[in-house]
């Protein structure tokens, strides 16, 4: 795994985001539990730099994004918003949007590992990930209306992850939903006891790792590209992806291995 730039916490003791590489998985951990893992400008820059560094790293097959402490992330640091001018606020939210888009556009599947409350931009971070595993102790909330600041950017991935009426309820009331309700509405894939969270998330990652990284990256790209299209246009995206994929070396190897009843030997591991 390539060296990842580590941005120190303001105290200078530990990186804002811890990085570990294990069996093809990059495990990223938000590391400001004393600040409820707020997505400060420094935290966002650290996440941006890490996703840039691992984007083309062949040793990273899947990314797990978790957090230390009792809160997954409480969203933006309001001290960086309050009293700032238009340029400062715009650059902060542009930086945040860039991080969320880096997750969506990453060729690596990204799994949120949610141990506690994820609010506002913290909930946005979970909704931006491709998959999510939550502890039964987790919760999800977009409480911007409580402070007069509608969660307009968290709204974007949230409204694409859960039914529209549920998204609007969360946005208009600001009330938290439990991990179980998040599972029922499709915001998370699995809910497990807190003590099983890390193992369950790694188990999900390991289900993806055996497959061709080229195939996974191509499929993820096509999935998000077709989402907002009408069905005919979406089929065009799907068809083009299928053609590109079918002509690729790993698809030839996979189909040959299937017909020959053997395990495939991927070029792109």
**Is there a single domain that holds both residue 118 and residue 194?**
yes
Q: Look at residue 3 in the predicted model and tell me its pLDDT.
A: 54
Residue 87 lies in a domain: yes
**Is there a single domain that holds both residue 93 and residue 220?**
no
Mean local confidence (pLDDT), 247-252? 95
Q: Look at residue 118 in the predicted model and tell me its pLDDT.
A: 98
Residue 267 lies in a domain: no
Distance of CA 111 to the CA centre of its chain: 6
The enclosing H or E element of 134 equals strand 131-135
**Is there a single domain that holds both residue 40 and residue 115?**
yes
Q: Look at residue 5 in the predicted model and tell me its pLDDT.
A: 55
**Is there a single domain that holds both residue 173 and residue 217?**
no
| DSSP letter assigned to residue 9 | P
**CATH number of the structural domain spanning residue 157:** 3.90.226.10
Confidence of residue 162 (pLDDT cuts 50, 70, 90): very high
**Is there a single domain that holds both residue 255 and residue 138?**
no
**Is there a single domain that holds both residue 137 and residue 200?**
yes
268, pLDDT greater than 80? no
**Is there a single domain that holds both residue 54 and residue 21?**
yes
**For all residues of the chain together, what is the average pLDDT?**
94
Residue 6 lies in a domain: no
**What strand order describes the sheet that includes 139-141?**
71-73, 117-119, 139-141, 177-178
Q: Look at residue 4 in the predicted model and tell me its pLDDT.
A: 58
**Is there a single domain that holds both residue 92 and residue 27?**
yes
Mean local confidence (pLDDT), 71-85? 94
**Is there a single domain that holds both residue 251 and residue 143?**
no
Mean local confidence (pLDDT), 68-79? 96
Q: Look at residue 9 in the predicted model and tell me its pLDDT.
A: 57
**Is there a single domain that holds both residue 70 and residue 27?**
yes
Mean local confidence (pLDDT), 23-27? 96
Q: Look at residue 7 in the predicted model and tell me its pLDDT.
A: 56
What's the Cα-to-Cα distance from 35 to each of 1, 43, 76, 80, 115, rounded to whole Å? 29, 11, 11, 13, 16
Domain that holds residue 222: 213-259
Q: Look at residue 156 in the predicted model and tell me its pLDDT.
A: 98
Q: Look at residue 198 in the predicted model and tell me its pLDDT.
A: 98
The total domain count for the chain is 2
**Is there a single domain that holds both residue 59 and residue 92?**
yes
pTM of the model: 0.94
- Contacts of residue 55, Cβ cutoff 8 Å, sequence gap at least 6: 102, 106, 107, 108
């Amino acid at each position: 795994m390539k060296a990842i730039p580590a941005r120190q916490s303001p105290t200078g003791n530990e990186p804002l985001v811890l990085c570990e590489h294990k069996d093809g998985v990059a495990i990223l951990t938000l590391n400001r539990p004393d600040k409820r893992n707020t997505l400060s400008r420094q935290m966002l820059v650290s996440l941006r730099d890490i996703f840039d560094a691992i984007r083309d790293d062949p040793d990273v097959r899947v990314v797990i994004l978790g957090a230390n402490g009792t809160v997954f992330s409480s969203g933006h640091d309001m001290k960086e918003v309050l009293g700032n001018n238009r340029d400062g606020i715009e650059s902060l939210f542009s930086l945040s949007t860039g991080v969320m888009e880096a997750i969506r556009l990453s060729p690596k599947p990204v799994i949120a590992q949610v141990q506690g409350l994820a609010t506002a931009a913290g909930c946005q971070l979970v909704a931006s990930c491709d998959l999510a595993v939550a502890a039964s102790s987790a919760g999800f909330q977009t409480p911007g209306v409580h402070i007069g600041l509608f969660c307009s950017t968290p709204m974007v991935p949230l409204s694409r992850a859960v039914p529209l009426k549920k998204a609007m309820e969360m946005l208009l009331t600001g009330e938290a939903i439990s991990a179980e309700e998040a599972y029922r509405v499709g915001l998370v894939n699995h809910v497990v006891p807190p003590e099983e969270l890390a193992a369950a998330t790694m188990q999900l990652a390991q289900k993806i790792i055996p497959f061709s990284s080229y195939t996974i990256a191509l499929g993820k790209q096509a999935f998000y590209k077709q989402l907002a299209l009408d069905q005919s246009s979406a089929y065009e995206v799907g068809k083009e992806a299928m053609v590109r994929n079918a002509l690729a070396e790993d698809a030839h190897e996979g189909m040959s291995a299937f017909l020959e009843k053997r395990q495939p030997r991927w070029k792109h591991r």
